[in-house]
Structure 1
Amino acid sequence: MQLKRIEQQVVAIVGASSGIGREAALRFAARGAKVVVAARSEPGLASLVNEIHQLGGDATAITADVSEYEQVKVIADKTVATYGRLDTWVHSSATAIVAPFEQVTPEEFKRVIDVTLMGQVYGAMVALPHLKREGQGALIHISSMEGRRALPLQSSYSSAKHGVEGFLESLRVELQHEGSAVSVTSIKPAVINTPFYNNALTKLGVKPTGLPPYYAPSLVTDAVLYTAEHPTRDFIVGDVGKILDILQRLSPALVDSFLVLAGFQGQQTNELKSADAPNNLYEPVPENDRVEGDFGNLTIPSVTDWLDRHPALGWGVAGSAVGAAFLALLAAQAFNSDH
């Protein structure tokens, strides 16, 4: 399966006003791709397009709520109307609630599913006809390691990401059966320092956090750009994500025990935050339209991502890489205990 070089591509990026989507748009544009950026936040999209134009790039913005199929369809249709085709679809929209399951209302749970799962489904539905017409292309879906291993206090988000994984597995096999040259990629980040935790609705009484360590958004966008040119089934971002994947396969009960010990207090900061604070469950939060979140001090590098992007080196060095990943995890734990 062959994909175009990035400078030859027309790329639609959904969920582009902040975080991974925003950085991906900037990186694609810097590499010469024509980009269409979509999100609910009109101010966030406007500032993003302005930034891309200042870099000399070509970008078009579309305001859309991914929970509405017709609005997602407009993104794909306008991309083709503006630039003549669609080569890569990157879908990163998500929303989340951090709360015990019994405190989540049916409407709130459904909203997370509508945005974080159904939005991804709608994206594939509207992008596929255009990609097939081109005879090739890439569907790149930003999933999560929570699609492999659910976390406490995030039942709706974990459910949505598990749904994304099941959906993509089914779709991928159907396309292979057809002999289609459309690549379907699931990118599964570990904990990334984006405004995700600023935007989440919390009922913990405090600002939520991911379980450290964090990784920089640039690691995820590295994976996005790589898979836009190199067909890839799955891409786990972050050494700790790979370790978690191994542990979950070996002993889910062991991971259960770890999360009983660390998964509750570990997702809470000391900063007070009420359930009435601004969150992006139903409306965008324009003040969070930026790439990075508030946890840069907990960000560490990742060793194994580079190896995944350079497969010609082979995974004969996998043993040393995994060893390095474990050392990175231990170092991060020591850092956290000291701070």
Structure 2
Amino acid sequence: MNLKSIDQQVVVVVGASSGIGRDTALRFAKKGAKVVVSARSKEGLATLVEEISAMGGTAIAVPADVADFEQVKAIAEKTVEHFGRLDTWVHLAATSVFATFDNVTPEEFRRVIDVTLMGQVYGAMVALPHLKREGRGALIHITSLEGRRSLPYQSAYSAAKHGSIGFIDAMRLELKNEGYPISVTNIMPGVINTPFYNKGKTKLGVKPTGVPPYYSASLVTDAILYAAEHPVRDYIVSDVGRILDIAQRISPGLVDLLLLAIAFPFQKTDEPKSEDDPNNLYEPIQGYDKVNGDFDQLEIPSITDMLDKGPALAIGAFAVAALGVAALLGGLGDR
């Protein structure tokens, strides 16, 4: 499967106004790609296009709510209308409600599914015809480790990520069976320091947080840029993500014990926040047109992601992850 070099690509980044999406758009533009950025926040997209233009890059913005198929379709159509083709589609848009399952309304649960799962579905549906016409290209879906292991307080988000991985796997096989040289990549980040936790709706009484440690958004961006040029099936970002994935495969029950101990207290900050405070469940909110969230002090490096950039790719990553799993399971055995 032969993918174009990034400087020859037209790239769509959906969910680009902040966080990983914003960093991804900036990095693609810096490497010479023509970039189309999309999100609900017109203000966020405007500042992003200005930033790309200031560095000498080329970008246009197409505001869209990914829960609406016609709006997602318009992203692809305007890309081809403006640049003549589409080479890589990167889909990151997501939202969440932080609450116990029995405290989430049907409407809220459905909205998370519509944005976080159906948005991914719509993105693939509108991008594939253009990629097939080009005869090659890449679909890059940013899901989450929560597609492999659900977390409390995030039932709707975890369900959406599980569903995304399910349709991605089926679609990839169908494309292979039909002989289309289109790369389909599922990138599963661990806990990343972005404004995601600032923007989601919370019913916990406080601002939510991820279970630390946090990792830099640039690690996910590195994986995205790599997948745009090299066919990759699945990619878990972060040491803890890889360790947790292996542990889940070995013993889900032991992972339950771990999460009972840490996932409930460590997903709450001490900062009061009401469910009526501004959130992005139904509408975009302003003030978060940036890459990083509020947890820079909790970021740590990822050893396995460093190894992935060198020749010891699989062996090194597996060895470190395996050692971590051994330590994790050993500690749980002492409970």
TM-score (norm 1): 0.94
Q: Does 1:51 align with 2:51?
A: yes
Residue of structure 2 equivalent to 1:223: 223
| Count of aligned residue pairs for this structure pair | 329
Are the equivalent residues in 2 in contact too, given 1:303–1:324 (CA < 8 A)? Answer: no
Residue of structure 1 equivalent to 2:93: 93
2:207 is paired with a residue whose SS is strand
Residue of structure 2 equivalent to 1:112: 112
Are the equivalent residues in 2 in contact too, given 1:185–1:231 (CA < 8 A)? Answer: yes
Are the equivalent residues in 2 in contact too, given 1:223–1:309 (CA < 8 A)? Answer: no
Are the equivalent residues in 2 in contact too, given 1:303–1:325 (CA < 8 A)? Answer: no
Residues 316, 264 of structure 1: alpha-carbon distance in 2 compared, 3 angstrom cutoff: closer
Are the equivalent residues in 1 in contact too, given 2:308–2:317 (CA < 8 A)? Answer: no
Pairing of 1:1-339 with structure 2 (within 5 A): 1-310=1-310, 312-318=311-317, 320-322=319-321
The letter of the residue matching 2:129 is P
Deviation at 1:117, TM superposition (A): 0.1
Are the equivalent residues in 2 in contact too, given 1:12–1:88 (CA < 8 A)? Answer: yes
Deviation at 1:325, TM superposition (A): 5.4
Residues 327, 9 of structure 1: alpha-carbon distance in 2 compared, 3 angstrom cutoff: farther
Partner deviation per Cα, 1:227-249 (whole Å, 9 max, x = no partner): 00000000100000000000000
Partners of 1:235 and 1:322 in 2: CA distance: 14
Residues 319, 222 of structure 1: alpha-carbon distance in 2 compared, 3 angstrom cutoff: closer
Deviation at 1:266, TM superposition (A): 1.1
Residues 287, 328 of structure 1: alpha-carbon distance in 2 compared, 3 angstrom cutoff: farther
Partner deviation per Cα, 1:235-265 (whole Å, 9 max, x = no partner): 1000000000000000001111111121111
Deviation at 1:315, TM superposition (A): 2.9
Deviation at 1:299, TM superposition (A): 0.3
2:116 is paired with a residue whose SS is helix
The letter of the residue matching 2:74 is V
1:286 is paired with a residue whose SS is coil
Are the equivalent residues in 2 in contact too, given 1:144–1:188 (CA < 8 A)? Answer: yes
* Long gaps (5+) in structure 1: 330-339
Are the equivalent residues in 2 in contact too, given 1:98–1:204 (CA < 8 A)? Answer: yes
Partner deviation per Cα, 1:34-72 (whole Å, 9 max, x = no partner): 000000000000000000000000000011000000000
Partner deviation per Cα, 1:147-204 (whole Å, 9 max, x = no partner): 0000011000000000000010000000010111010000000000000000110000
Deviation at 1:327, TM superposition (A): 11
2:61 is paired with a residue whose SS is strand
Partners of 2:111 and 2:316 in 1: CA distance: 43
Instruction: Kindly report the root-mean-square deviation, in angstroms, between the aligned alpha carbons of the 2 structures.
Output: 1.6
Deviation at 1:321, TM superposition (A): 2.8
1:17 is paired with a residue whose SS is coil
Partner deviation per Cα, 1:249-291 (whole Å, 9 max, x = no partner): 0000111111112111110011100001111000111211211
Partner deviation per Cα, 1:293-319 (whole Å, 9 max, x = no partner): 001110000011133344x43433346
1:2 is paired with a residue whose SS is coil
1:274 is paired with a residue whose SS is coil
Partners of 1:74 and 1:304 in 2: CA distance: 38
The letter of the residue matching 1:74 is A
Are the equivalent residues in 1 in contact too, given 2:244–2:325 (CA < 8 A)? Answer: no
Partners of 2:181 and 2:327 in 1: CA distance: 38
Deviation at 1:320, TM superposition (A): 4.5
Residues 314, 263 of structure 1: alpha-carbon distance in 2 compared, 3 angstrom cutoff: closer
Partner deviation per Cα, 1:118-167 (whole Å, 9 max, x = no partner): 00000000000000100000000000000000001100000000000001
Residues 219, 314 of structure 1: alpha-carbon distance in 2 compared, 3 angstrom cutoff: closer
Partners of 1:306 and 1:135 in 2: CA distance: 33
Are the equivalent residues in 1 in contact too, given 2:195–2:288 (CA < 8 A)? Answer: yes
Are the equivalent residues in 2 in contact too, given 1:147–1:159 (CA < 8 A)? Answer: yes
